[in-house]
Amino acid sequence: MHPALRGDHHVHSTFSDDAVSTLAENVAAAHAAGLTELRLVDHVRADTTWVPEFLAAVAALEVPDGLTVHTGVEAKILDTTGALDLPAALDGVDRILIADHQFPGTDGPWSPSATAERLAAGLPADDALDLLIGGLIGAMRRHPGNQLAHCFSILPKIGLDESALGPERLDAWAHTAAATDTLVEVNEKWGCPGPAAIAAARTAGVRLVASTDSHIASDVGRYERVAALLAGKGAR
């Protein structure tokens, strides 16, 4: 087993409005799966107010011996500068998960459908890929010491593929992650990043972590696509 598979670094609870399991249920599931690390993560926006409550609830959990629990909040990239949709009160959060839920546009976040429309209207794919990599690099530099969530999951939603990124963009992305102590998660739900990005990250010395992006406790620590990707194979 790849060592990264002993952890799950992106697990949602009922603090996220699209998840169904409690923090305690996720901890129990992680222990049952034999994990040694668990990152409890929920979605935030600039107007989110419950982060102190979330942290207090995590601190009150009974954590079994052998399991280390970390915290995180997941926030979307807003634009090409790498600004994130974050609340002000984040004291005590271990890592921010930098997410490509929307496309980092020049004038703010573009929805996947709006980005696809721009591509169809003549935005060159290479220009769009430069915007994406620029936004990711900007976010890592502005918010060092954090984690990239399901990186490049936006690409199939806009009709592009990771293979179009090419070695030069991936090299810049990976070396920025290494220089900023940014973890790169290999995500079960979205099957990303792909083999070329993982290879670039390894070459640059980036720490790769596994995640299910679970929204229900029964998925915690259950890997198929991540195991294949970490073994150097394409995700199924």
* Tens of pLDDT, residues 134-167: 999 999 999 999 999 999 999 999 999 999 999 9
CA–CA distances in Å: residue 17 to residues 138, 190, 218, 230: 28, 19, 18, 30
Average pLDDT over residues 89-111: 97
- Whether the upstream peptide bond of residue 193 has omega within 30° of 0, thus cis, is yes
pLDDT at 21 over 60: yes
What are the boundaries of each domain within the chain? 3-230
Global pTM reads: 0.96
Does domain 3-230 match CATH 3.40.50.300? no
Average pLDDT over residues 224-229: 97
Average pLDDT over residues 119-136: 98
pLDDT at site 89: 87
pLDDT at 236 over 50: no
pLDDT at 191 over 80: yes
